[in-house]
Amino acid sequence: MKDYLEEYKKWCESPDFDEETKKELLEIKDDEKEIEDRFYKELEFGTAGLRGVIGAGTNRMNKYTVGKATQGLANYILEQGTQDKGVAISYDSRKMSKEFSMQTALILCANGIKTYLFENLRPVPELSFAVRELKCTAGIMITASHNPPKYNGYKVYWDDGSQIVAPRDKDIIAKVRDVKQFSEIKEMSKEEAIEKGLLNIVRTEMDDKYINTLKALIINPEIVKEQGKSLKVVYTPLHGTGNTVAERLLKEIGIQNLYVVPEQKEPDGNFPTVDYPNPEDKKAFKLALELAKKVDADVVLATDPDADRLGIYAKDSKTGEYMTYTGNMSALLIAEYRISQMKEKGILPEKGMMITTVVSSNLTQAIAEEYGLKLYEVLTGFKNIGAVMKKEEELEDGHEYVFGFEESYGCLIGDYARDKDGIAAVMALCEAACYYKSKGETLWDQMNNIYKKYGYYKEDQVSIVLEGAEGAEKIQEMMTNMRNTPVERIGDYRVLTFKDIDRDYVKDMVTGEESKTGLPKSNVLYYALEDNSWCCVRPSGTEPKIKLYMGVKGVSEVDANKKLEDLKNAMVAIVK
């Protein structure tokens, strides 16, 4: 009998599993393809924690896989001897998020580990902030970020408020794998956990601290108060956690004309008005843009379900059209605004730094050079930005954090947290809009000013979705082919440098010289091209996709758009 059928049979018969789980599994007894997909592997606790489709089975998010992950984490914390510092836990609006968060808290409590559980759903950045504020040993966020509604997930943070990084991630993964039987998962009732002082509920006092911390980061509060009387802002939390704090924050800083999309205001794990609750997806803005046209809004903002990502449209006053921004554009608009204002006011650190990822815009380099900031480039994942922040903080003469972002619609404007913060980004963009409004300009005017100043940097990405066991195999095959086939030209561009980050290998394609990347191992291939252009390929760490990234620099918008389209087509042809 095939292994996955053995495992399926065990789940259907073992006393370790409840009747509801068995009933769900018996309903698929004649569908071998579905059984295979649910049981061909264990839902892996990877470097980003867990993420998967909700349902019964080893390759699904359910109380057994969540329980196993939590017991493994508990064993690790006990080994570290930091159980008394406690663990902060938050969750988003997805199906089963509330249940998984309570289950997680009670398993930790049963292991003698103090927990701080948010009374209701809250954004990822507030969880990162709370870990630092409460001086916890760890944090857990139940979320599948921007994935479709059938998914949920489990992110683990460490005491600096950043998601776990090497070597700790590998050590925790090993502890999770060591939990062989579901019967090893410890249990405790809510009543007993409260009675023993192990389960502590976090209420709105954390919102107050978080919001006040963000408000203190505003550079031009008077301009915001003045221009906030007339600036019109449409915001949607896309049925997620964003509006638990965003509306209050914007009103407190002085944004008087704020319109929250009514159909998407309330948290709802079915995400009934969108196919895909992702602010990177233009379709997610449909209702927000309709409202924007009705109220003549200046800016349209959307955060994903756990509110770490922000998408934006801004009105072009010349045409009346709402113009979309990529994650690179919105982050670098915030960066240019904040850094130029800090310099003007004499508060830009002498030894300041910006941090970004290898797949983000090369415009970052130009901005860092303009303001004399050191630029760090790290692997994809905000935890890698957090790791540099921690390292520099621990040095006696380390660089001071000024700004960090990744192209996937996430940035962090201060060092109060260690994950991307869509709420702070909403605030920062509203501040920037007020500032440029006071100069008679829109955010779209300012975006064009940035291009005129630095050059027309444009980026794009393509995701090729390949689901299931066959898809995973195909992705691996595509990466192997790319890795082992020397590429000397991509479209019109000569390849200048090839980097295989998984093998810590760099080849100068002009001189033939070989060297090391100096980056941690990761399944990423990077091609530096002529004329400030580049391409990159990697499998997604959280979804069944292979992702292609590319960027160009043009002399005008038309020139940059044409170059980008040509490069994108050339890259897709090579990968496929």
Asked whether residue 538 is assigned to any structural domain, the reply reads: yes
CATH number at residue 542: 3.30.310.50
Say whether both 190 and 228 belong to one domain. no
Percent of the chain topping pLDDT 90:
93
* Per-residue pLDDT at 286 exceeds 70: yes
User: Under 8 Å CB-to-CB from 170, ≥6 apart: which residues?
Assistant: none
Question: pTM, whole model, 2 decimals?
Answer: 0.94
Sign of the dihedral defined by the CA atoms of residues 73, 74, 80, 85, in that order: positive
Asked whether residue 392 is assigned to any structural domain, the reply reads: no
Asked whether residue 23 is assigned to any structural domain, the reply reads: no
Asked whether residue 156 is assigned to any structural domain, the reply reads: yes
Asked whether residue 391 is assigned to any structural domain, the reply reads: no
Per-residue pLDDT band at 468 (split at 50, 70, 90): confident
Do residues 435 and 220 make contact, with C-beta atoms less than 8 angstroms apart? yes
Say whether both 135 and 150 belong to one domain. yes
Phi-psi region of 49 (alpha: psi -120 to 50; beta: other; left: phi over 0): left
Asked whether residue 88 is assigned to any structural domain, the reply reads: yes
Say whether both 146 and 165 belong to one domain. yes
CA distance 92 to 202: 15
Say whether both 161 and 215 belong to one domain. no
* Per-residue pLDDT at 1 exceeds 60: no
Q: Which of 97, 128, 145, 361 is catalytic?
A: 145
Cα(first)–Cα(last) distance of the chain, in Å?
Answer: 35
Q: What integer is the mean pLDDT of 92-105?
A: 98
Say whether both 148 and 65 belong to one domain. yes
Structure-token pair, residue 255: 């944004």
Domain ends where: 176, 203, 230?
A: 203
Per-residue pLDDT band at 470 (split at 50, 70, 90): confident
Centroid of chain to Cα 563: 28
Residues 537-562: tens digit of each pLDDT: 999 877 789 999 999 999 999 999 99
**Residue 469: its pLDDT value, please?**
81
* Per-residue pLDDT at 33 exceeds 70: yes
490-519 in b/e form (b: 16+ CB < 10 A) is bbebebbbbbbbbeeebbebeeeeeeebeb
Asked whether residue 432 is assigned to any structural domain, the reply reads: no
- If one counts the domains in the chain, the total is 3
Say whether both 141 and 222 belong to one domain. no
Residue type, 174: A
Q: What integer is the mean pLDDT of 324-345?
A: 98
Number of DSSP helices (H) and strands (E) in the chain, helices first? 19, 23
Q: What integer is the mean pLDDT of 151-174?
A: 95
**Residue 576: its pLDDT value, please?**
78
Work out the angle at residue 565's Cα, subtended by the Cα atoms of residues 564 and 568, and round it to the nearest 5 degrees: 85
Say whether both 222 and 196 belong to one domain. no
Closest CA to 258 of 307, 222, 299, 223: 299
Domain ends where: 145, 178, 203?
A: 203
Say whether both 157 and 52 belong to one domain. yes
Question: Could you tell me the CA-to-CA distances from 148 to 189, 301, 440 in Å, in that order?
Answer: 32, 20, 40
* Per-residue pLDDT at 168 exceeds 70: yes
Say whether both 175 and 221 belong to one domain. no
Closest CA to 21 of 29, 12, 30: 12
CA distance 102 to 108: 10
Q: Calculate the average pLDDT of the chain.
A: 96
Please list the helix, strand and coil fractions of the chain in percent, rounded to the nearest 5, in that order.
45, 20, 35
Say whether both 194 and 225 belong to one domain. no
Token look-up 């061909």 returns 40
Say whether both 198 and 218 belong to one domain. no
CA distance 165 to 159: 12
CA distance 106 to 81: 19
Asked whether residue 311 is assigned to any structural domain, the reply reads: yes
CATH number at residue 85: 3.40.120.10
Q: What integer is the mean pLDDT of 78-82?
A: 97
- The 3-state DSSP class for residue 287 equals helix
145 is catalytic: yes
Domain ends where: 188, 203, 218?
A: 203
CA distance 279 to 226: 29
The domain containing residue 476 runs over which residues?
456-575
Say whether both 176 and 223 belong to one domain. no
Residues 371-428: tens digit of each pLDDT: 999 999 999 899 999 999 999 999 999 999 999 999 999 999 999 999 999 999 999 9
